[in-house]
Structure 1
Amino acid sequence: MKILAVSDHIDPRIYSNLCRERFHNVSCIISCGDLPEHYLDFIVSNLNVPLFFVHGNHDPSAGKKSLAGGYNLDGKVINFQGILLAGLEGSLWYNGNIHQYTQRDMYHKYLSLLPQLYWAKMRYHHYLDILVTHSPPSGIHESDDPVHKGFKVFNHMIKKFHPRYHLHGHTHLYDRNQSYQDPLYQTIVINCYNYRIIDFGRGKDARDFSISGIESRI
């Protein structure tokens, strides 16, 4: 299964007449936020696969809910073809606009997600495969400014629930030498700015994934 993960920046290689040809073999799209609605609508219309998304701090209040095939992951656990996805939107609070949260606020959002995670464990025998957020975890892929710091509760979630992957955006990558993929406990944390193609090999059940390739596009 191939996933097209996008975040924060419109890429001309996606937003082109060759979109369908280049990405015809992806099974779904995951947006980590801060992308305009028309861009995501263009991708969905061309590839005709489901879109799963969380809002970034620059997204409008009601955006992307009307997209064909669009599922807002914020505060939800969704099973897609045996892969368990969970999402938490937004960035650290800095000016009071929508989709901004203090560390305490995000901890409470995590608490609200807990019943679904425990239900997933009961029903599917594991908690989570992919955690999708806009911001990174604390200490991973952060920038120097306060706005682009990560949430501490994401580190706790990764340690406790062992998702295979944590996909995020928010921190922009302008240098090819910047790291976009790093391990945290048993999880691979991937910065999806501008886009990544993540190729999962499938084992006997939803837990048995191996990553056979990440195509980086900066």
Structure 2
Amino acid sequence: MRLLVVADSTHSWPEGADGRYDLSVLVDRHRPGVLLSLGDFSTVHAAVMARSGAPLLAGVYGNHCTQDYMPQYGITDLVGDRQLPARHTTLEPPGRRAVTVLAVQGCVRYKSDIDDVLFTQEQYDAAIDPLPAADLVITHCPPAGINDAEDHAHLGIAALRRWVDRHRPRWLLHGHTYDNPTMSKHGSTTVLYIHGHAVLDLARV
């Protein structure tokens, strides 16, 4: 499955002749089955995704996503509820094999803001611990101890680390943090860090 994944920043997004962001350039060049957002975007960015021509748009919200912009722009919200930290679901690109997914949104609560998508470690525990195995993890925030940081805003999710160690998914995609290797391994799981955009062939990693 080929994915065009975007996360956190537009610094690497191509621009059209009019100076506006134009993801259709990447869609035309790479022919991804899915344009996948890992969050921290707005309605402006969602409109660019909607114009991309990708056959399927999907994603999770990041902690700075203050609006429910995905449904308005035809983007499948893989969690589907801003009050729910995580959900077990399926990613089904047209004409391609479905992949089981653990979708995780937001990040660990580090402030009292009620508009941002933030959860306590205990809320992540309750949501993630009971969920079954999946091939692919799509998360804004990484698991604890995997590409996270010590500052409160970029702590990893403890329950997600336990879930990954227990179920050993094939792939884990995340954004949110900074200056990580684009690809690493945690046991048998391939960890893919995205900041800006990346084109991924999951069968090859």
TM-score w.r.t. length of structure 2 = 0.81
Residue 92, structure 1, aligned to residue 98, structure 2: no
Residue 187, structure 1, aligned to residue 203, structure 2: no
Shift in Å, 1:61: 4.1
- Other-structure match for 2:82: none
Counterpart of 2:6, as a letter, is: V
Superposition map of 1:67-78 within 5 A: 67-68=73-74, 70-74=75-79, 75-78=87-90
For 1:180 and 1:65, locate their aligned partners in 2 and report how far apart those are by CA, in whole Å.
Answer: 29
Is there any run of 5+ residues in structure 2 with no aligned partner, and where?
80-86
Residue 139, structure 1, aligned to residue 145, structure 2: yes
Residue 198, structure 1, aligned to residue 200, structure 2: yes
1:155 is paired with a residue of what secondary structure? Answer: helix
Counterpart of 1:92, as a letter, is: V
Q: Deviations over 1:149-199 (max 9, x none)?
A: 1011111111222211111111133xxxx4232211211111111111101
For 2:155 and 2:54, locate their aligned partners in 1 and report how far apart those are by CA, in whole Å.
Answer: 34
For 2:63 and 2:24, locate their aligned partners in 1 and report how far apart those are by CA, in whole Å.
Answer: 29
Shift in Å, 1:46: 2.0
Asked if structure 2 preserves the Cα contact closer than 8 Å seen for 1:87 and 1:132, the reply is yes
Residues 20, 110 of structure 1: CA spacing in aligned structure 2 closer, same or farther, 3 A cutoff? same
Residues 63, 43 of structure 1: CA spacing in aligned structure 2 closer, same or farther, 3 A cutoff? closer
Shift in Å, 1:111: 4.1
Counterpart of 1:180, as a letter, is: T
- Other-structure match for 2:122: 104
Which one of the candidate residues 150, 157, 168 is aligned to 1:151?
Answer: 157
Shift in Å, 1:104: 0.8
For 1:144 and 1:133, locate their aligned partners in 2 and report how far apart those are by CA, in whole Å.
Answer: 19
2:202 is paired with a residue of what secondary structure? Answer: strand
- Other-structure match for 1:170: 176
- Other-structure match for 1:122: none
For 2:188 and 2:159, locate their aligned partners in 1 and report how far apart those are by CA, in whole Å.
Answer: 16
Greater shift in the superposed pair: 192-201 or 35-44: 35-44
RMSD in angstroms over aligned alpha carbons? Answer: 2.0
TM-score w.r.t. length of structure 1 = 0.77
Residue 64, structure 1, aligned to residue 76, structure 2: no
- Other-structure match for 2:34: 28
Is there any run of 5+ residues in structure 1 with no aligned partner, and where?
118-126, 202-209, 212-218
Q: Deviations over 1:111-130 (max 9, x none)?
A: 46x2xx3xxxxxxxxx3121
1:23 is paired with a residue of what secondary structure? Answer: helix
Q: Which runs of 4+ in 1 moved over 6 A?
A: none
For 1:111 and 1:155, locate their aligned partners in 2 and report how far apart those are by CA, in whole Å.
Answer: 10
**Percent identity of paired positions between Structure 1 and Structure 2:** 20
Counterpart of 1:72, as a letter, is: D
Residues 79, 62 of structure 1: CA spacing in aligned structure 2 closer, same or farther, 3 A cutoff? closer
Residue 51, structure 1, aligned to residue 67, structure 2: no
2:177 is paired with a residue of what secondary structure? Answer: coil
